[in-house]
Amino acid sequence: MQLLELTLASVCFAAGGVFMKWSAGVTRPGPAAAFFGLFLAGAALQALAMRETDLGVAYIFVLGLEAVLASVFSAFLFEERWPAERIVAVVLIVAGIILLRRS
């Protein structure tokens, strides 16, 4: 159950980042409300998962998966470039998440 909560928290945080960008510096009410709501939901899900998960593992898992998802969203939604260094960095993040889950 904790893995699902941590994954959903990461999705909420990454999606919240998309709406943060769309809010244009919190000047557009709809996207601003969505990003605040998604960040709140992400924090609540992460807090629930941390009841029975190590803080370090849970926190790094959420941050790592959020970074990967935000990178994917940035490429597809905002057409940001993906140089080789960024791809290598994302692969390293995923490898780190896998190692953490196994420890």
pLDDT value at residue 72: 92
Q: What is the pLDDT of residues 29-45, one digit of tens each?
A: 999 999 999 999 999 99
Locate 80 and state its tokens: 């940001």
pLDDT value at residue 80: 92
Closest CA to 98 of 54, 64, 47: 64
Report how far residue 59's alpha carbon sits from residue 89's, in angstroms, rounded to the nearest whole number: 18
Indicate the domain borders of the chain: 2-102
Report how far residue 54's alpha carbon sits from residue 14's, in angstroms, rounded to the nearest whole number: 22
Q: What is the pLDDT of residues 57-94, one digit of tens each?
A: 888 889 989 998 999 999 999 999 989 998 898 899 88
Residue with tokens 């809010």: 23
Q: In Å, what is the CA distance from 39 to each residue of 8, 15, 28, 87?
A: 11, 9, 17, 26
